[in-house]
Amino acid sequence: MQQAPEYLWIGCSDSRVPANQIVNLPPGEVFVHRNIANVVVHSDLNCLSVIQFAVEVLKVKHIIVCGHYGCGGVKAAMENQEHGLIDNWLHHIKDVSRFNAEKLKGLDPDKEFDLLCELNVIEQAKNVCNTTVVKKAWKEGAELSIHGWIYNIENGILKDLDLCVTSDKQLKKNYENA
Ligand SMILES: [Zn+2]
């Protein structure tokens, strides 16, 4: 009769990574936002509205940012080729690459691609933690955890990137560890 999901899924638009099938949950159990390369930008009213509705109205207990290996958006951001309009969006991933230049330096291209897919999840999960909506919820004592996961489309394994944040206080330490 009405939805009462406990989870908000922020994932990639890629047709191979559908939220419900990956976590094996039926309709009604996951609130979903997807965009190219699961990016969370502080000025994206679409994504922020989804987070606000999920947290304040549906009162979800978990927000999962789930990326995937082999992500075309991440791959495109690594190249110097022009792709038109989408390059503006992919710039957010180029930023992730720039923030983590030291970690990515010297890796072979496949490893670099995999690592950037993971780092992108961690960075976007951090962005979720820093939204005014999530900060306000934590301040008010809401039970809300933010997670970073990555899915492998080759073997179907879903990996937790060990970034679980349940309060503003934990963010810095857990982000650095991840
Ligand atoms: Zn993708």
Instruction: Residue count of the chain, please give it.
Output: 178
Distance separating alpha carbons of residues 171 and 92, to the nearest angstrom: 21
Q: Summarize the confidence of residues 142-161 as an average pLDDT.
A: 97
So what's the architecture of 7-69+118-177 in CATH? 3-Layer(aba) Sandwich (3.40)
Tokens of 19: 């939220």
Distance separating alpha carbons of residues 90 and 73, to the nearest angstrom: 7
Instruction: Mark whether 164 is an active-site residue.
Output: no
- Going from the Cα of 170 to the center of ligand 1, the distance in angstroms, rounded, reads 28
Instruction: Mark whether 68 is an active-site residue.
Output: yes
pLDDT category at 1 given cuts 50, 70, 90 is confident
% the chain with pLDDT above 90: 97
- Going from the Cα of 118 to the center of ligand 1, the distance in angstroms, rounded, reads 12
What protein residues have CB closer than 5 angstroms to ion ligand 1? 12, 14, 71, 73
Per-residue pLDDT of 27-77, as tens digits, reads 999 999 999 999 999 999 999 999 999 999 999 999 999 999 999 999 999
pTM: 0.96
Instruction: Please provide the average confidence, as pLDDT, over all residues in the chain.
Output: 96
